[in-house]
Chains A and B, each alone.
Chain A
Amino acid sequence: MIHSLFLINNAGDLFLEKHWKSVISRSVCDYFFEAREKAVEPDNVPPVIRTPHHYLINIYREKIFFVSVIQTEVPPLFVIEFLHRVAETFQDYFGECSESTIKDNVVIVYELLEEMLDNGFPLATESNILKELIRPPTILRSMVNTITGSSNVGETLPTGQLSTIPWRRAGVKYTNNEAYFDVVEEIDAILDKSGTTVFAEIQGVIDACVKLSGMPDLTLSFMNPRLLDDVSFHPCVRYKRWESERVISFVPPDGNFQLMSYHISAQNLVAIPVYVKQNISFFETGSSGRLDITVGPKQTMGKTVEGLVVTVHMPKVVLSANLNATQGTYNYDPVTKILVWDIGKLNPQKLPNLKGSLSLQSGAPKPEENPSLNIDLKIQQLAISGRLGSFISVGCDSLPAGPCDKALLLLTLF
């Protein structure tokens, strides 16, 4: 099982170590540093590194490497999942997961790590339970603690720990009962030169923030659940019911959680919201080239496209770009050879255009490769998968008795 954990920052400083079994010398990280150096980019460090006596499994999150050491055969996915969970817990507790917040809260971090693993076996990883055992720091609490001498460690056994619904703590009470659901959809699409879709898929998640008293039992149904190719549920969802009725029925954890994620790959459903007209050409002679890019709306269902950014990965020989943008700003980085055009909001009346010339290294042959364009955008209030999102309905099967005046349901669709 997981033997030790080392946290290493981007500069290669090891700033925290935790051992769940015997202490392993930090020199084991030398193998990691070796791999880190070889990979050049921090993103490219291989996740599993073999050393003569140990295996190092690492993830890279928020500019921190979480390097775990294992000695026996352990499912690597289990370790990686756990490391991500650690990062998420830090985020949850301290608002952000960074070297400085971890150093600022080092004792809580240590207590958390001790609580999350026992002898390398996960003990309590649910945020609800952890928060009962170790209270997250707030300015107010640290003030109160210093004055009154009380501690931020829970004295009693968390209630949810042993019930069949370990994710929810008992005795939750709110004066305002509310539940929010966010549907966030991302399309990943690859288009070829002519604009035809090579590949497109939708990756969606439903994030929930549930603040309901007692033990609420909720259901959520889709109008057209057949669209979903694959779903992954939070453990609270009753799978049997989904199998038989295609209804998501669950007792939610208290607070924020990801209810489910889904995957839609049926191509005809994926409507790409914008189109791009591009013409990037290089001349045979004269070491120069032309660039002309126009972006326009396609299927936006009347919604505004925001946060539009076009990124072009230029060939190595391109030295500089002299362009003119009708909207937004552009920036060409001659070191990374990346051209970024930040457009912002898309105005359908006056389509944004970027036009101009490129200068190439003199004497170099005309580049062979076609520059690839990445387009990032955001549309509020629209689910790309269309028919799926707009029909979510939430029902409360058993709302808590007592001070529950209303169940406020809000749906935000991105």
Chain B
Amino acid sequence: MEWASQLCENRGLGSKMTDSKYFTTTKKGEIFELKAELNSDKKEKKKEAVKKVIASMTVGKDVSALFPDVVNCMQTDNLELKKLVYLYLMNYAKSQPDMAIMAVNTFVKDCEDLNPLIRALAVRTMGCIRVDKITEYLCEPLRKCLKDEDPYVRKTAAVCVAKLHDINAQLVEDQGFLDTLKDLISDSNPMVVANAVAALSEIAESHPNSNLLDLNPQTINKLLTALNECTEWGQIFILDCLASYLPRDDRESQSICERVTPRLSHANSAVVLSAVKVLMKFMEMLPKDLDYYGTLLKKLAPPLVTLLSAEPELQYVALRNINLIVQKRPEILKHEMKVFFVKYNDPIYVKLEKLDIMIRLASQANIAQVLAELKEYATEVDVDFVRKAVRAIGRCAIKVEQSAERCVSTLLDLIQTKVNYVVQEAIVVIKDIFRKYPNKYESVIATLCENLDSLDEPEARAAMIWIVGEYAERIDNADELLESFLEGFHDESTQVQLQLLTAIVKLFLKKPTETQELVQQVLSLATQDSDNPDLRDRGYIYWRLLSTDPVAAKEVVLAEKPLISEETDLIEPTLLEELICHIGTLASVYHKPPSAFVEGSRGVQHKRLPPRTGSGESTETPDVGQSGPSEAPPAVIPSQGDLLGDLLNLDLAPPTATVPSVQPSMQMGAMDLLGGGLDSLLGGDIGGSPSMGAGLGAAPAAMPASLGSAPAVGGGLGDLFDLGGGVGMPTGSYVAPKTVWLLAMKAKGLEISGTFARRGGIIQMDLSLTNKAMSVMTDFAIQFNRNSFGLAPAGPLQVLTPLSPNQTIDVSLPLSTSGPVMKMEPLNNLQVAVKNNIDVFYFSCQYPLSLLFVEDGKMDRQVFLATWKDIPNDNEAQFQIKDIHLNSDVASNKLQGSNIFTIAKRTVEGQDMLYQSVKLTNGIWVLAEMRIQTGNPNYTLSIKCRAPEVCPFVYQCYELVLKN
């Protein structure tokens, strides 16, 4: 009690009356002292003790040992003490679940209290105690509180449902709380409505398909009414909920917009941004010639500008979102360039974002101002910022042609400063300017070359090397320059090595006489001494090209390069659309779709902007914006992080033409083709070079593992020889109708639909390619990613004539099963890359497993019996095939058409039992027993296989075949 008396003394002296006294410790065990005080008879002492406990808790000290003593203080009519005890309970109940039960009675009693504040407090606290045993007791009080007469209690209870759902989702559903919650959307009190919406949204996030927020015009109307009257936070929840609604037509859309617009003047920036989201989304549906559309556009700018005068953290989030808005609708902020000028005291993260937006808004009208600003920024202190400013100058040059000359001279001025990182950054952007405006600014090359020695960053070195190689004929000492780089070849980064290789080859083709030695040196460095496969491959290709046909090599390597697009940093249109639907969220801050990174929301539905329903524009894709109706969207380089990025090793950098012509033939599949194919392809004169060994050495490694397990049938070649035998058989296998695999919108105008078929033992992929873009498409090639059964194209994609706009072409691509194998999810998933002269596109599709059922899949009866017994029962899977009105013979005939063979039939007590076998291309046997009861349209199917994961897919095939 020494401590306690000390405390009393302190008080008597009237010393500082603050809570910091709760932190003071005593010599004796602190917990021990507190325990004694908590059990004191005096109320005041108890309260002080609990306060001390709470104070320790706030700094992360473990005071859970006091649990029973604190809970004992709960039965009190002193509200402050009660609140304090509740605070404690919420923190520690989880660690002492059995003790927490002690508190239940008090909670239940408090839920019946006359004071609504206490009722609400009790239900609120109970929801925070994440102990299963307690939640059971929570249900009844919660049900009552959801229907409480006092709205304060109802609104608290609404949130409590979300808490409970987080702890035990099943319980919430079983108890029907979700329906009660939905009813609360129609509550008379706006605060209750807002909280119900918030709770439902949170629950819906973990159940993406639950359709919890079933929005219809009536509920929307209620929400809009509540929007005007609820608190600012409630407004955010309601607006976010509204954003997920899809109006029926443009009139409804307009009326919602009208009622949301006042929110733009709210003091809370989160409300403003949520309102912007709703407007941006619904605006999409309004016809552009409508007066209201213009009014709305005008109304959006001022609030966005105002957001920039808020605290820097708010500015940052606002700027990230404005970045999206500017890309989608540049017209909104096109006159507001000046507000994005960087202020001296902006935090760096705000500065960088502002810079980004400045470039997006740069146009001929304001370029002079922008350049003057950027030049100032380039002399600032912060390195990151300066770099970005220099880069921005280059981007302006590329974007606004009229300004290119001024940009280049500005960049030259900056190079004169000799500030190392400024020079390097400037050289990188000048390279891009050269690519955009070839043969215009080469006079500056001399200045660039002066700074060769100071370049130490890979990107800058690579850029400089590219420039030297590209303009080798104008640089007298190009060979010396490149040779100097070659000395430290192995220490360079891959980027520089690749660039150096290409540059020297270019130089050789331009000045063959003087540089033969140099080119040989670099080729051997790249092919013999390097471990990097990219470098080696590129080296070989050049080597072979040069040795076979120097003229062709010239055509390939020195081919005219496509001009770089104006905005390489634009977000892909489909992603942009999705992000516009997520304005104000984390997704919009990271510029990534929510599915890509938010944990626990993997099933998030992709949101799309609604299609415009206005006059005559309905067929137009929404993202075309101000450009012509069917013009392809601006070229966008696909992000490198694409999951299929490694599929085609196509190098998008300079010598694109060479690679695809080689690759399909390499994919020919069958073993013996490879050697000869390579030989004929590469010509015999490369005997001395090490390429043969390496090329062939690598090939067998790529052979599918399945070959070994099924040597009899093997891959594509085996199937080919089987052809003769297969002709006489009924080829009634079912072919599904074509479905669209690749949307034109996602593939710059190329639409692909297709299906799979097995015709006479040959697997075919039937494709329809449609050109929905304005320009002609040529140079088609196809490639598959590794897949579960080693499917690979058995020949190149036969699109011989160029595909003109609006033309559709049907192609059948024979497939082999000798490609590389990798297990996919789902098993029958196939990832495909299609290339044309525009770009490479990726899509994935699923093939029916019956594609892989081979013609000799009829098993011997004895073997069948033995195998059936041999496969463990765990591997057996049972399925129901419903609504089949066929007798067993017809069914068995039908199945035979798809290579599902009936081996035996037994009839027991009016039940037909069919025993069937299937063999897959990789030699896996699937055994099945099908039970057919006369008069019963439901078949029972039992499937046994050593690889049980194929069973569901075999069942799918059964169903497909029998139903068609």
Contacts and interface: CB of A to CB of B under 8 A. Distances in A.
B44 interface: yes
A139 B14 CA distance: 11
B233 A143 contact: no
A104 B20 contact: yes
A174 to B, nearest CB: 26
B302 A230 contact: yes
B19 A106 contact: yes
Kindly name the residue among A15, A114, A201, A260 whose own CB sees the greatest number of chain B CB atoms within 10 A. A114
Contact of A240 (B78, B262, B601): B262
A276 to B, nearest CB: 15
B269 interface: yes
A44 B417 contact: no
A162 B17 contact: no
Interface stretch (B476-484, B584-592, B677-685, B696-704): B584-592
A48 B60 contact: no
Q: How large is the interface on A (under 10, 10 to 19, 20 to 34, 35 or more residues)?
A: 35 or more
B804 interface: no
B347 A17 contact: no
A126 B234 CA distance: 13
A75 B267 contact: no
Contacts of B79: 151, 153-155
B132 interface: no
A30 interface: no
Contacts of A357: none
B267 A203 contact: no
Interface in B548-590: 584-587, 589-590
A77 B379 contact: no
B44 A149 contact: yes
B265 A44 contact: no
Nearest to A111: B83
Contacts of B128: 20-21, 119
A345 interface: no
A316 to B, nearest CB: 8
B306 A232 contact: yes
A287 interface: no
Nearest to A240: B262
Contact of A151 (B80, B87, B124, B151): B80
Contact of A104 (B19, B152, B195, B381): B19
A121 B198 contact: yes
B273 interface: yes
A313 interface: yes
Interface string A50-93: 10010100111000000000011111111011101000000000
18 contacts: A20-B128, A72-B598, A75-B584, A80-B314, A84-B314, A107-B84, A114-B83, A126-B231, A151-B47, A153-B79, A156-B117, A157-B150, A157-B152, A161-B191, A162-B150, A190-B343, A233-B265, A263-B309
Given A108-B19, A156-B117, A368-B379, A235 B266 contact: yes
Contacts of A121: 159, 162, 195, 198-199, 233
Interface in A180-213: 188, 190, 198-199, 201, 203
B347 A157 contact: no
A219 B379 CA distance: 50
B135 interface: no
Contact of B232 (A164, A235, A374): A235
A14 B80 CA distance: 26
A265 to B, nearest CB: 7
A47 B313 contact: yes
B348 A44 contact: yes
Interface string A353-379: 000000000000000111010100000
Contact of B159 (A119, A154, A188): A119
Kindly name the residue among A20, A77, A105, A190 whose own CB sees the greatest number of chain B CB atoms within 10 A. A77
Given A47-B349, A76-B586, A77-B270, A157 B115 contact: yes
B719 interface: no
A393 B191 CA distance: 33
Contact of B80 (A78, A153, A190): A153
Nearest to B43: A149
A352 interface: no
Contact of B205 (A58, A72, A104, A258): A72
A239 B227 CA distance: 13
B115 A374 contact: no
B768 to A, nearest CB: 39
Contact of A369 (B54, B341, B379): B379
B166 A21 contact: yes
Interface of B: 11, 14, 16-20, 22-23, 43-44, 47, 51, 54-55, 58-60, 78-81, 83-84, 87, 90-91, 94, 115-117, 124, 127-128, 130, 150-152, 156, 159-160, 162-163, 166, 189-191, 195, 198-199, 202, 205, 229, 231-233, 236, 240, 262, 265-270, 272-274, 302-303, 305-306, 309, 311-314, 316-318, 338-339, 341, 343-344, 347-349, 369, 376, 379-381, 417, 584-587, 589-590, 594, 597-601
Contacts of B417: 368
Given A149-B43, A162-B150, A233-B267, 10 more contacts: A17-B58, A47-B316, A77-B269, A107-B54, A108-B19, A125-B233, A157-B115, A157-B116, A190-B343, A231-B265
Given A47-B316, A106-B58, A230 B306 contact: yes
Given A75-B236, A107-B19, A368-B379, A243 B262 contact: yes
Nearest to A151: B80
Contact of A47 (B58, B87, B130, B317): B317
B184 to A, nearest CB: 14
A4 B311 CA distance: 22
Contacts of A80: 270, 311, 313-314, 317
Nearest to A257: B267
Interface string A259-284: 01101010000000000000000000
A78 B270 contact: yes
B276 to A, nearest CB: 11
Kindly name the residue among A15, A47, A203 whose own CB sees the greatest number of chain B CB atoms within 10 A. A47
A71 to B, nearest CB: 7
Contact of A142 (B17, B150, B269, B594): B17
A46 interface: yes
Contacts of B265: 230-233, 239, 242
A122 B230 CA distance: 12
A14 B229 CA distance: 39
A147 B594 CA distance: 56
Contacts of B599: 53, 71-72
A349 interface: no
Contacts of A368: 379, 417
Nearest to A54: B599
A246 interface: no
A306 interface: no
Contact of A155 (B117, B266, B305): B117
